[in-house]
Structure 1
Amino acid sequence: MAWQQLHLQCKKDDVDLAEALLLEAGALSIALDDAGDQPLFEPLPGESPLWDDVILTALFDANTENGNADAVEALSHNVAAEVNANRVWVSGLDDKDWEREWMIHYQPIECANDLWIVPNWLTPPKPEATNIIMDPGLAFGTGYHATTRLCLDWLTEQDLTDKVVIDYGCGSGILGIAALLLGAKQVFAVDIDPQAVLATNQNAERNQVADKLQAFLPQDFDEFRIKQAIAPVDVIAANILAKPLIGLAPYFATLIAKKGKIVLAGLIESQTEAVKSAYQPYFSIDSSHAFSAQEDQHWQRLSGEFTG
């Protein structure tokens, strides 16, 4: 074995101490995973929420004094005692081509109405289809998450020909790029994360729609649309979280044209009524557009039309 892994389950309050002890003992890296089934929604930049019960996995070089099987086994008992671990175990790990290992988890995805998401290192399985070529990168929105799929499926059902679209909370830019490939003439993509703005621009180039897409941080977008006197848009897609969606309702009402369409995602079933209530003063929300993704019965989508 080229590597030894020490796995340790503890409460989130003990994670910092466990990490410090493992790094001090020579761990090359530490990964954190959910020890139960507790959802964590996409955090804001700078936030690092943790599950109540966490599994830490520390990686050691088996060819070193501190990383051989006996040393890691002894360390596991010492660290477990210090942090009151619920359980601890050690496993071996063969060497791999780690730079490419993560790529095997991504395969082309078929969405509704012949729309495909294809990782940029693979060949589209159906070249004649509408193919979004994506680099998963560091931004949210690979198409593998239920909320993204819900929005993509909705976009394929709309007549986007010559429409102007805002992709708010753009992440990787996948929704805005899909809108352009489906006929939209212009997309304004907005995200609070600079990494998302970068990823969106790169993916727009990759899909040959960069001339029709502009990506912004929120303040920059507001300055741009005021300076350029941007007219109200035809469609807003916002795949974020319930709390920011609620706060953005009156703002979105200032961005969209009469009878403009909106789609909202990033919600679980218990949040839909609060979000609907926030949007109903401005939009007619069609409850028939609220449904769960097949992959996860908790995720919901809302859509509607701006009433003014």
Structure 2
Amino acid sequence: MIRLAVRVRREDADVVLAELLALAPSGVEEADLEGGKIVEYAVYGAPGELPELPDVEAAVGGALVEVTTSEVADDWADRWRQFHQPIVVGDSLYVRPPWEPERDDLMDLVIDPGQAFGTGAHHTTRLCLELLVAEPVPDVPGVMDLGCGSGVLAIAAAKLGWSPVAGVDHELESVRATAENAEANGVEVAVDRFDLIRGGPAPTAPLVLANLLRPLLLCVARAGFAGGEPPRTLIASGLLTHEAYEIAAAFAPHGLHETDRRTSAEWAALVLRRT
């Protein structure tokens, strides 16, 4: 088994990931390096199954920091499973991969990390989940998950009683993964493709979840929301702590102002409410 790893600057990560997924649609492994300044994407395969190195270098373009290939030990599948551990959020929600058993004392959410980008253990996803769990479900509890990935946030919202719940993602593989994971959890999530960079105003709902990197959040802030109607509440994650004030300021023209902030390691998540 061969591991092909690509390291890029964080500010280019979303664009690079979209290009890499076109070459390796089964998904990639993601890790933060150098305090979050560099992102490493890795794909695995037998010799001859991985994308050609010139294609990878062309896809990454000027964002490229380093490309490496290495052999992976035969027990890589077991070690990969050990990397994806279950988490407990807010003493109420249990997010686990399918090979871990349920817990009777917690609300169960099972996510297959083989389909997209993890089960929710990354700081950014966990912060967003913590803020979602703490959010009271209102009388009109619609949710839109921008950049839904594996669907963990949208599915958690549905489990917590929000409805209707929808999600969008630029990658077809993420759309499929969200739909499959929602079905596996017995909840309804309407999911579709949408390009947050080029698609214009973002789809919206009373609550919008946006676990996105800074460049995409700024794209959403510039483009606004469909129908000119911003959400009542926006939970924005995917931010380095020093980026939080910039993102809060970017959404202020939409009447959305920071009411809560949580941090974990070098990451931050915000709650922005319409005033």
Give the alignment's TM-score, normalised by structure 1: 0.64
Q: Is the 1:163–1:184 contact (alpha carbons within 8 Å) kept by the matching residues of 2?
A: yes
Instruction: For residue 123 of structure 1, report the CA deviation from its aligned partner.
Output: 0.6
Unaligned ranges ≥5, structure 2: 3-28, 42-55
In structure 2, the partner of 1:70 is: none
Instruction: For residue 128 of structure 1, report the CA deviation from its aligned partner.
Output: 3.2
Q: Which of 245, 249, 256 is residue 277 of structure 1 equivalent to?
A: 249
Q: How does 1:167-206 map to 2 (within 5 A)?
A: 167-206=145-184
Q: Which of 101, 117, 126 is residue 140 of structure 1 equivalent to?
A: 117
Q: Is the 2:86–2:121 contact (alpha carbons within 8 Å) kept by the matching residues of 1?
A: no
Q: Distance in 1 between matches of 2:268 and 2:229?
A: 25
Instruction: For residue 276 of structure 1, report the CA deviation from its aligned partner.
Output: 1.5
Q: Which of 179, 190, 193 is residue 217 of structure 1 equivalent to?
A: 193
Instruction: For residue 291 of structure 1, report the CA deviation from its aligned partner.
Output: 3.0
Q: Distance in 1 between matches of 2:160 and 2:180?
A: 19
Q: Is the 1:283–1:304 contact (alpha carbons within 8 Å) kept by the matching residues of 2?
A: no
Unaligned ranges ≥5, structure 1: 6-30, 61-92
Q: How does 1:32-43 map to 2 (within 5 A)?
A: 39-41=37-39
Larger Rg: 1
Instruction: For residue 269 of structure 1, report the CA deviation from its aligned partner.
Output: 1.9
Instruction: For residue 241 of structure 1, report the CA deviation from its aligned partner.
Output: 0.8
Q: Distance in 2 between matches of 1:42 and 1:111?
A: 26
Q: Is the 1:147–1:299 contact (alpha carbons within 8 Å) kept by the matching residues of 2?
A: yes
Q: Is the 1:250–1:282 contact (alpha carbons within 8 Å) kept by the matching residues of 2?
A: no
Q: How does 1:288-299 map to 2 (within 5 A)?
A: 289-293=260-264, 296=265, 298-299=266-267
Instruction: For residue 186 of structure 1, report the CA deviation from its aligned partner.
Output: 1.3
More displaced, 277-286 or 143-152?
Answer: 277-286
Q: Distance in 1 between matches of 2:117 and 2:156?
A: 15
Count of residues in correspondence between the two structures: 229
In structure 2, the partner of 1:306 is: 274
1:154 equivalent to 2:146? Answer no
Q: Is the 1:141–1:148 contact (alpha carbons within 8 Å) kept by the matching residues of 2?
A: no
Give the superposed CA RMSD: 3.6
Provide, for residues 92-121 of structure 1, a one-character-per-residue CA deviation record: whole Å limited to 9, x for no partner.
x5x43x444411222221111411111111
Q: Is the 2:207–2:231 contact (alpha carbons within 8 Å) kept by the matching residues of 1?
A: no
Instruction: For residue 252 of structure 1, report the CA deviation from its aligned partner.
Output: 4.4
Provide, for residues 11-64 of structure 1, a one-character-per-residue CA deviation record: whole Å limited to 9, x for no partner.
xxxxxxxxxxxxxxxxxxxx9999966633488x95475446x7x45339xxxx
Give the alignment's TM-score, normalised by structure 2: 0.71
Q: How does 1:194-273 map to 2 (within 5 A)?
A: 194-209=172-187, 212-218=188-194, 233-254=205-226, 260-273=232-245
Q: Distance in 1 between matches of 2:159 and 2:94?
A: 11
Percent identity for Structure 1 against Structure 2: 29
1:111 equivalent to 2:89? Answer yes
Closer, same or farther: CA 133–255 of 1 in aligned 2, 3 Å: farther
Instruction: For residue 303 of structure 1, report the CA deviation from its aligned partner.
Output: 1.3
